[in-house]
């Protein structure tokens, strides 16, 4: 396989509600994004993954779509969208749209017609049964909702306002491919595919992810939309094993460019339990094994590399240090991740070291998943304290507080006195303006990593070799025929011992004094670096 453009770029995820408000209503929008493209160009990213901006009743902040080809008036209109595509392109930035086709909104015309008329051709676009089974919604409660109008139950794996689409229906699939083609024709560069591993579901057999027809559908989508067009695609696949990862991303199979696999995220909570049963201490040895597996066994597939997204807690709050080592741990985690094989993703604010929000009560929470969880947990007798602890650490609103642009009112996010979610109180010191003014800020570590990705081909090609180290130290080598690079990180607030294999090295990037590490054979807390080994 020749080198693809998306193997040499870093992707930046924008959650539009929270990025930049241009019209003073407290909600981010497309003109806000356009006004910050120069900033993103300076960071150096090659693509934006734009979380949904489509028309939506916003039950799940736009992941409930009522028109795939209209823009929500909260965010602007189609002219703004075209302007964003154009202005981004001028700066060498491609736009990747979020594709949410496992479900629509219940306000989508298809569903309105389907529920009101059993004879309609749209009825079968959704999944109806006379009796519910035991399937549960990912957002708590039964996955089935009785519809008075339809006199049947419909399936919804997310909120009640997100009915699941029936991918068995050929016409539905055709309509989706046509819609995707029109978006590609508009000039977008690809899709991030929301919960794509669920489209092959077989609800009667309790098969939710990885259904028997899943890959057949994706290959059909490839033929109907992606083939011959130079787009990148990334599937969101929560349960993907390495074998699944190969199926999706092996180029010969003609499916997707890559998937988001979540094995490392699984280490955040107790095995077999819901994500709200979190584990505070990172299991570094387990993490090493997961990295090793995905870095070495994907064969002709391709990885995505990420710590954060709009569904996950801020990485520093769960696995970094938000206190005395906030900056250093942020740089360390970035260095560790970005020098692996795969396409790196940066979630807005990650490049500033943004952290979880200290939510005090449920009134401050907007996220439907957290609110449903709270309701259910409280009704089962859990205390409010337990619920708030879980939401503070794991809840999705942590990633969704407004981007912090400067130290002015509302962190420069909006001119309104109030934003849709509160601005993190640390905005006075943690913001874009301060980061740009300080050559040692986290921002510049990201900028350099993004630059390296563009310039250094070994990041794409070199083999990955995990080294045997002390428990809290992760070290790997990337080897090509004529060069070898060593990447090391101390995932801890304490000293760890580490001996470099040779003293004669060229520093590529670091958050520490590499000379001192060589001399003392000691890593200080959160030390991280990459060196080229000279031999």
Contact call for residues 104 and 122 (beta carbons, < 8 A): no
Could you say which of 21, 64, 194, 367 is catalytic?
194
Sheet holding 190-193, edge to edge: 258-261, 232-237, 190-193, 94-99, 47-50, 11-14, 343-347, 304-305
Residues 264-293 that bind Ca ion (CB under 5 A): none
Residues 455-494 that bind Ca ion (CB under 5 A): none
Q: Is residue 194 among the annotated active site residues?
A: yes
Is there binding between residue 234 and ligand GLC (CB under 6 A)?
no
Is there binding between residue 25 and Ca ion (CB under 5 A)?
yes
Fill in the per-residue mask, 146 to 185: x = in contact with ligand GLC (CB under 6 A), - = not in contact: ------------x---------------------------
Among 27, 71, 176, 256, binds Ca ion (CB under 5 A): 27
Is there binding between residue 80 and Ca ion (CB under 5 A)?
no
Is there binding between residue 33 and Ca ion (CB under 5 A)?
no
Is there binding between residue 29 and Ca ion (CB under 5 A)?
yes
Give burial (CB, 10 Å; 0-12/13-18/19+) of 253.
middle
As beta bridge partners, residue 235 has: 193, 259
Closest CA to 531 of 522, 511, 290: 511
With contacts defined by CB under 5 A, name the span among 26-34, 44-52, 310-318, 338-346 that binds Ca ion.
Answer: 26-34
Question: Least distance (Å) from ligand GLC to the CB of residue 197?
Answer: 10
Of 138 and 505, nearer to ligand GLC (C-beta) is 138
Count of beta carbons in the 10 Å neighbourhood of residue 99 = 25
Contact call for residues 278 and 268 (beta carbons, < 8 A): yes
Judged by beta carbon distances under 5 to 8 A according to partner kind, the member of Ca ion, ligand GLC, none in contact with residue 267 is: none
Closest CA to 462 of 482, 445, 488, 447: 482
Of 153 and 420, nearer to Ca ion (C-beta) is 420
DSSP-derived secondary structure for 501-524: S-S-EEEEEESS-HHHHHHHTEEP
Question: Least distance (Å) from ligand GLC to the CB of residue 89?
Answer: 26
Closest CA to 268 of 281, 255, 259: 281
Q: Helix (H, G, I), strand (E, B), or coil: what is residue 459? A: helix
As beta bridge partners, residue 96 has: 49, 190
Is there binding between residue 197 and Ca ion (CB under 5 A)?
no
Question: Least distance (Å) from ligand GLC to the CB of residue 161?
Answer: 11
Fill in the per-residue mask, 39 to 78: x = in contact with ligand GLC (CB under 6 A), - = not in contact: ---------------------x--x---------------
Q: Helix (H, G, I), strand (E, B), or coil: what is residue 187? A: coil
| 222 secondary structure, DSSP code | I
Which chain residues interact with Ca ion by CB under 5 A?
21, 23, 25, 27, 29
Q: Give catalytic residues, as residue numbers.
A: 194, 236
Which chain residues interact with ligand GLC by CB under 6 A?
60, 63, 100, 158, 194-195, 236, 310-311
């Amino acid at each position: 396989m020749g080198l693809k453009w998306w193997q040499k770029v870093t992707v930046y995820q924008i959650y539009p509600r929270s990025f930049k408000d241009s019209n003073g209503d407290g909600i981010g929008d497309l003109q806000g994004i356009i006004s910050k493209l120069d900033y993103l160009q300076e960071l150096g990213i090659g693509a934006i993954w734009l979380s949904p901006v489509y028309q939506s009743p916003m039950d799940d902040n736009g992941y409930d779509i009522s028109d795939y080809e209209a823009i929500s008036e909260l965010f602007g209109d189609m002219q703004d969208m075209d302007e964003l595509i154009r202005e981004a392109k001028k700066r060498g930035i491609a736009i990747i749209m979020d594709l949410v086709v496992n479900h629509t909104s219940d306000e989508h015309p298809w569903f309105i017609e389907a529920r009101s008329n059993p004879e309609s051709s749209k009825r079968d676009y959704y999944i109806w049964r006379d009796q519910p089974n035991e399937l549960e919604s990912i957002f708590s409660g039964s996955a089935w909702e009785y519809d008075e109008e339809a006199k049947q139950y419909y399936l919804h794996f997310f909120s009640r306002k997100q009915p699941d689409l029936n991918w068995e229906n050929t016409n539905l699939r055709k309509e989706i491919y046509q819609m995707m083609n029109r978006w590609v024709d508009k000039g977008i560069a690809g899709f991030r595919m929301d919960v794509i591993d669920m489209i092959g579901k077989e609800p009667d057999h309790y098969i939710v992810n990885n259904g028997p027809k899943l890959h057949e559908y994706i290959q059909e989508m490839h033929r109907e939309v992606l083939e011959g067009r130079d787009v990148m695609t990334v599937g969101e696949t929560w349960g993907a094993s390495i074998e699944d990862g190969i199926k999706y991303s092996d180029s010969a199979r003609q499916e997707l460019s890559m998937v988001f696999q979540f094995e490392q995220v699984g280490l955040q909570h107790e095995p077999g339990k819901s994500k709200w049963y979190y584990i505070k201490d990172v299991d570094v040895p387990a993490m090493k094994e997961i990295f090793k597996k995905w870095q070495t066994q994907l064969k002709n597939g391709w990885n995505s590399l990420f710590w954060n997204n709009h569904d996950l807690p801020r990485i520093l709050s769960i696995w970094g240090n938000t206190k005395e080592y906030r900056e250093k741990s942020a740089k360390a985690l970035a260095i560790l991740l970005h020098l692996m094989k795969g396409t790196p993703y940066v979630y807005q604010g990650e490049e500033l070291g943004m952290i979880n929000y200290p939510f005090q009560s449920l009134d401050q929470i907007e996220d439907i998943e957290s609110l449903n969880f709270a309701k259910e947990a409280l009704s089962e007798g859990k205390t409010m304290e337990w619920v708030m602890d879980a939401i503070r650490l794991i809840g999705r609103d942590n990633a969704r507080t407004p981007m912090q642009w400067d130290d002015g009112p509302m962190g420069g996010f909006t001119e309104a006195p109030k934003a849709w979610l509160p601005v993190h109180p640390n905005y006075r010191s943690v913001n874009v303006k301060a980061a740009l003014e300080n050559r040692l800020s986290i921002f510049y570590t990201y900028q350099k990593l993004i630059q390296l990705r563009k310039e250094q081909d070994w990041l794409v090609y070199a083999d990955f070799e995990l080294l045997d180290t002390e428990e809290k130290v992760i070290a790997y080598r990337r080897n090509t025929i004529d060069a070898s690079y060593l990447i090391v990180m101390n995932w801890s607030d304490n000293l760890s011992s580490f001996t470099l294999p040779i003293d004669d090295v060229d520093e590529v990037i670091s958050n520490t004094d590499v000379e001192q590490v060589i001399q003392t054979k000691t890593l200080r807390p959160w030390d991280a670096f990459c060196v080229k080994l000279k031999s």
